[in-house]
Chains A and B, each alone.
Chain A
Amino acid sequence: MARSAKAVPWFLFAAGGTVIAFILPVMIFITGIAPAIGLFGDALSYETMHAFVGNWLIKLILLGIIVLAAWHAAHRLRVCAHDFGIRADGAVSIVVYGLAAIASAATVVALLMI
């Protein structure tokens, strides 16, 4: 059956769901809420962030988090589309997985530029 072909997306979905469950709330707090309330201002300065993200280990970790989050969200958005009555699963799959692929490639490019 077609079951075996589903192992890869299923793994990405499960791994992504687990990784973002643990890491995303604190990441959103650091990048999205902390700067607004002026907490730890210096940690997000250009020099500090550039040096921090410039570290290869941090780059790899960030890449892992972003790629897994993108693929997890893509799979979930596909289900979401179905739940909202959109039955064109083929077209939806191309759009959501295509976006995840573009996001993954863009992350690699951005990280290589830093």
Chain B
Amino acid sequence: MSRKPYHREVSKTTWFLKQSRYQHYMLHEISSVFVAIYVGVLIVGLFRLAQGPEAWSGWLAAVTSPIGVIFHILVFIFSIIHTTSWFKAVPQAMRIQRGEEIVPGNLIIGAHYGVWAVVSVVVLLVAGVA
């Protein structure tokens, strides 16, 4: 009665490589790996700060070592991938209505970029580095 069903061969580990949409999706997902490691580095830094000046300068030395710098540049790039793809998805998650009209997505995304710039400058000022 029933024919043999057709099964498309799909690799469980490399399925996302074939389409750019899936590649972008995975790039966004993989950013979490870097965020998780960065959170760990930060927590270690807080402990080092609590332990005293020597421990803190040891942490700073690790952060500024070649491996530390390469890692942070990678985390920085992935954090920006997270930010841009998160903002891109905002209009889909949040529909704002003004009167009869629905606020266009690009306006919402643009506002997010504006807030992002302001937040970044404020954090730089608060941290005393700008």
Flag whether B111 is at the interface (Cβ < 8 A).
no
* Known A35-B60, A36-B68, A66-B42: A30·B36 in contact at CB below 8 Å: no
A76 to B46, Cβ gap below 8 A? no
Which of B29, B40, B63 is in CB contact (< 8 Å) with A79?
B29
A46 to B116, Cβ gap below 8 A? no
B64 to A36, Cβ gap below 8 A? yes
Report how far A28 CA is from B47 CA in the complex, Å. 18
Q: B-side binding surface: helix, strand, loop or mixed?
A: helix
Interface size counted on chain A using CB atoms at 8 A = 52
A110 to B115, Cβ gap below 8 A? no
B80 to A111, Cβ gap below 8 A? no
A70 to B32, Cβ gap below 8 A? no
B56 to A40, Cβ gap below 8 A? no
Q: Please name all residues of chain B whose beta carbon is closer than 8 Å to the beta carbon of A76 when the two chains form the complex.
A: 29, 31-32, 35
A40 to B128, Cβ gap below 8 A? yes
Flag whether A90 is at the interface (Cβ < 8 A).
no
Which of A32, A77, A113 is in CB contact (< 8 Å) with B72?
A32
A77 to B36, Cβ gap below 8 A? yes
Which of A35, A53, A79 is in CB contact (< 8 Å) with B46?
A53
Of the candidates B35, B57, B93, the one having the most CB atoms from chain A within 10 angstroms of its own CB is: B35
Which of A18, A20, A99 is in CB contact (< 8 Å) with B79?
A20
Report how far A73 CA is from B35 CA in the complex, Å. 7
Query: CB within 8 Å of A: which residues of B?
Result: 12-13, 16, 26, 29-33, 35-36, 38-43, 45-47, 49-50, 52-53, 56-57, 60, 63-64, 68-69, 71-73, 75-76, 79-80, 82-83, 86-87, 93, 112, 115-116, 119-120, 123-124, 127-130
Pairs A-B, 6 closest by C-beta atoms: A32-B72, A85-B12, A76-B32, A113-B50, A110-B46, A40-B129
